[in-house]
Amino acid sequence: MTATTRPTPPRRRLKPLLAGLALGLLASTASNAAMLDVEKDELKFGFIKLTDMAPLAIAYELGYFEDEGLYVTLEPQANWKVLLDGVITGTLDGAHMLAGQPLAATIGYGTKAHIVTPFSMDLNGNGITVSNAVWELMKPHLEMDAEGKPVHPISAAALKPVIDEFDAEGRPFNLGMVFPVSTHNYELRYWLAAGGVNPGYYSPEDVSGQIAADAYLSVTPPPQMPATLEAGTIDGYAVGEPWNQAAVFKKIGVPVITDYDIWKNNPEKVFGMTAEFTEANPNTTLAITKALIRAAKWLDENDNANRQEAVEILSRSEYVGADAEVIAASMTGTFEFEAGDVRDVPDFNVFYRYFATYPYYSDAVWYLTQMRRWGQIAEDQPDSWYDEVAKSVYKPEIYLEAARLLVEEGLVDEADFPWDSAGYREPTAEFIDGVTYDGTKPNAYIDSLEIGLKTGDSVVGAEVVAAN
């Protein structure tokens, strides 16, 4: 009958955990996180100025990193390439990354480095915006409701006549996305293809991604999207927040669809580190994951009750820096399409609900299927290959270990985590085109998509060549 007055956690990592816990209790600070015996405690993380970097800012500002004994410096990066190079060369210990980045780096597309992720940062959060001129051209092709507002979701089929018109005038239709392996590239391509527009293919010789394209996609860093659209270099773009809402506020463009409408609760960013780093610093990796899980929980807690505070933090110049009202537009559960057309999108940014932070293999596989679909993966691969790559990059085991520690410390609920998951989500058809995605059968999925490379196809020169 000892110590019945306070709940004793199951004794897993005995020494450091108990010592840390005792310390936490002695300190009687607001939190009672236990400190792991971290190998490296001074860390530098990179991020891009986007609202979905929120878990990092929150973990820093609310002291979750410090609770774990981590002294973190957050540094905004100029673009996704600089950020990825920073992680690979070790000038950054980790970073807010596009889900496609660790996968592409690991399979050697663009750059070669083994990057892993134990933490998925959020779901959704992107949108596709077109310039005011394009919007006016699209309008006649839209279905309107009783109030005269367009019926959402808007299909790219309404954009097709506009692109044809551009084509007839001999003008290219240019769209911006943030990086060749970005979620935005795949979402924009998915949306265009679902509406019958071919966004073009990649080949080993031609990495522009514009082979046989109806619309020409090219890379623009996120914060420069509005300026590039305004300058007329691009006619539309796919980007994360706040840069779609910024277009509305600046009256230079109209968001036509959110990625939530392209694929409900699609995985978006991940927290990436090199495999080397996580192997050399296992406790640090756990501690980082713990702090980030707590931050994600705080962001979604009590029906997004903390979001306004999060908006205030993100609007500081060292983080996203945009005006608070612009950031709040999407962070607080609404999204403004055409000026004045504000609609509820309660799940526009999901940081914790629906097991958002769990790194599902099926999420990784989806990105790989899109890389194959558009020719970034030039050759057919067996289903087992997709599974292997996903497992070498996504690390749910680290995630669950961190979650277990947090449950033991009483900081999160047991029910918040899919303990028994095999890492694959249930097959889902919640896409704009209604095609079912089953992560365990990637090749069948690739073949079921209308536009895109299929089993046996390859891109030779400027043409798609089928097998035989």
Partner 1 sequence: MTLASEAPAPATERRQKLFTAINRSAAWLSALGFGWLVPLLRIAAGDDPREQMGELRDSLLFPLMGIAAFLLAWAIFAPQVQTSLGAIPGPAQVWEQAGSLWQDHVAERQKEADFYVRQDERNAELIADDRADDVKWRAYTGKPTYLDQIVTSLKTVGLGFLIATIIAVPLGIASGLSRPFNGALNPLVQLFKPVSPLAWLPIVTMVVSALYVDASDAFPKALVISAVTVTLCSLWPTLINTALGVASIDKDLVNVGKVLQLSTPTTITKLVLPSALPLIFTGLRLSLGVGWMVLIAAEMLAQNPGLGKFVWDEFQNGSSTSLARIIVAVLTIGIIGFLLDRVMFTLQTAFTFSGKR
Nearer to partner 1, 234 or 262 (CB): 234
Q: How far is the CB of 292 from partner 1 (least distance, A)?
A: 16
Strand 269-274 to 115-120 pairing = antiparallel
Tracing tokens 């514009």 back to the chain, one arrives at: 210
Smallest distance from the beta carbon of 435 to partner 1, in angstroms? 37
Residue 290, H or E segment: helix 282-304
Please tell me the distance from the alpha carbon of residue 411 to that of residue 416, in angstroms, as a whole number: 11
Residue in 49, 96, 152, 425 binding partner 1, rule: CB under 8 A: 49
| Binding of partner 1 by 230 (CB under 8 A) | yes
Which residues lie below 8 Å from residue 68, measured CB to CB, with a gap of 6+?
33, 35, 36, 38, 287, 288, 290, 291
Site for partner 1 in 50-69 (CB under 8 A): 60, 63, 66
Burial degree of 30 (CB within 10 A; 0-12, 13-18, 19+):
exposed
Q: For residue 46, state whether it binds partner 1 (rule: CB under 8 A).
A: no
Q: Which of 8, 12, 39, 71 binds partner 1 (CB under 8 A)?
A: 71
CB of 86 or CB of 200, closer to partner 1: 86
Stretch that binds partner 1, among 136-144, 202-210, 219-227, 385-393 (CB under 8 A): 219-227
* 293-322 footprint of partner 1 as x/- string (CB under 8 A): ----------------------x-xx-xxx
The answer to the question of residue 252 lying near partner 1 (CB under 8 A) is: yes
Stretch that binds partner 1, among 163-171, 192-200, 248-256, 401-409 (CB under 8 A): 248-256
Q: What single-letter DSSP state applies at residue 87?
A: H
By CB under 8 A, tell whether 16 contacts partner 1: no
For the CB of residue 338, give the shortest distance to partner 1 in the complex, in Å: 17
Quote the DSSP letter at residue 407.
H
Burial of 441 (0-12, 13-18, 19+ CB in 10 A): middle
At closest approach, how far in Å is the CB of 85 from partner 1? 10
Neighbours of 153 (CB within 10 A): 13
Alpha-carbon radius of gyration of the chain: 22
Give yes or no for a contact between 119 and 270, defined as CB atoms under 8 angstroms apart.
Answer: yes
Q: Which of 8, 12, 39, 42 binds partner 1 (CB under 8 A)?
A: 42
Question: By rule CB under 8 A, what string of x and - marks binding of each residue 177-216 to partner 1?
Answer: ----------------------------------------
| CA–CA dist 458, 211 (Å, integer) | 12
Determine which helix (DSSP H) or strand (DSSP E) holds 94, and give its type and residue range.
Answer: strand 94-98
For partner 1, the closer of residues 23 and 466 by Cβ is: 23
At 258, list the tokens.
């959110």
**Closest by CA position to 427, among listed 416, 418, 438:** 438
Site residues, partner 1 (CB under 8 A) = 19, 22-23, 26-27, 41-42, 49, 60, 63, 66, 71-74, 76-78, 82, 89, 91, 223-224, 226-227, 230, 246, 250-252, 315, 317-318, 320-323, 326
